[in-house]
């Protein structure tokens, strides 16, 4: 294997800013999807922002963040060949799960990266069936989706170069590899 590209989202200010800008784009697109979904499902768009709803949004969103990282960690561990301990932390306003030095196949890494978005979105859908105000869950879904911008950026990099065969998690980002 040969190193194709290394992303350092912690120390590379340009990349960090690009991903933050991308997060705003994802927020707008996700909000648009939510509006369209409400119009299709209910024939109208309705939001109800009360103090109670704001508190629920903040609470569920804050709880969803470590759950998101826990899902990354579960899949890092599941696909790990070395059995190294997954590390969790907080840096530059971001929670993270990391398994530095572990090399994964592209397929495994895509699963590791997308699992939290898919599983948390499923949890939000299940919560919506509990009778919680839909404004709360739509809002949390949009915020969580925007928070997945770094994960989506990794997927973008993988799609951009289909020759990538393996990915290595690093303490500051990821390394992408291609065959020699």
What is the model's pLDDT at position 155?
Answer: 97
Count of domains forming the chain: 1
What is the model's pLDDT at position 41?
Answer: 79
Q: State the residue range of the domain holding 105.
A: 2-46+54-178
Sequence-distant (6+) residues with CB within 8 A of 155 are 110, 113, 114
What is the model's pLDDT at position 45?
Answer: 79
Entry pTM? 0.91
Positions of the chain with pLDDT under 50: none
Per-residue pLDDT tens over the stretch 98-150? 999 899 999 999 999 999 999 999 998 888 878 778 889 899 999 999 999 99
Among 79, 152, 92, 91, which residue's Cα sits nearest to residue 121?
152
């Amino acid at each position: 294997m040969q190193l194709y590209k290394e992303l350092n989202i912690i120390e590379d200010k340009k990349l960090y800013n690009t991903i933050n800008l991308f997060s705003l784009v994802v927020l707008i697109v996700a909000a648009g999807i939510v509006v369209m979904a409400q119009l299709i499902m209910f024939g109208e768009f309705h939001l109800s922002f009360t103090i109670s709803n704001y508190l629920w949004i903040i609470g569920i969103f804050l709880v969803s963040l470590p759950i998101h990282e826990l899902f990354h960690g579960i899949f890092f561990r599941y696909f790990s060949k070395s059995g190294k301990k997954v590390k969790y932390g907080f840096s530059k306003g971001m929670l993270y799960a990391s398994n530095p030095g572990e090399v994964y196949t592209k397929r495994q890494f895509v699963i590791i990266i997308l699992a939290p978005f898919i599983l948390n979105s499923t949890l939000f859908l299940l919560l919506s069936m509990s009778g919680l105000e839909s404004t709360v869950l739509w809002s949390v879904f949009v915020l969580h989706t925007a928070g997945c911008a770094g994960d989506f950026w990794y997927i973008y990099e993988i799609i951009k170069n289909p020759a990538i065969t393996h990915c290595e998690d690093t303490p500051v980002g990821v390394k992408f590899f291609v065959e020699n």
